[in-house]
Amino acid sequence: PCFLLQPIVENAIRHGIAQTRGPGRVEISAKREDGSLRIRVRDNGPGLVAITRPDDGLREGLGLSNTRARLEQLYGAAHRFELENAPGGGLLVTLEIPAAKGTPS
């Protein structure tokens, strides 16, 4: 679906690499596996600490909350949307949705 990546990449820039002193990096990868499309967006910023509230809850802005709601509406339980600290630093966002039927693997 259109505009699923835009808010994720925007957040990687705004809350991730804009917070670093050195060179910033955003990596996007996609892989089709077992009937699903897995998309990952990783940055080299501060990780979850940049979007965590003092009560340890995530501070999701409009972009992420709209993305989460849209995925729920389109795919229900058949999707995955996770944010986690990336190995070696930064934030890793994983988005997994059913691959379109009838398209080559």
DSSP string, 66-105: HHHHHHHHHHGGG-EEEEEEPTTSSEEEEEEEEPPTTS--
Q: What is the pLDDT of residue 27?
A: 97
Which residues, given as ranges, of the chain have pLDDT below 70?
A: 53, 56-57, 101-105
Q: What is the pLDDT of residue 67?
A: 92
Q: What is the pLDDT of residue 101?
A: 64
Question: How many Å apart are CA 52 and CA 61, to the nearest integer?
Answer: 11
Q: Please list, in sequence order, all residues whose beta carbon lies within 8 angstroms of the beta carbon of residue 77, skipping any fewer than 6 positions away.
A: none
Query: Model-level pTM?
Result: 0.85
Question: How many Å apart are CA 59 and CA 52, to the nearest integer?
Answer: 5
Q: What is the pLDDT of residue 32?
A: 95
Q: What is the pLDDT of residue 56?
A: 65
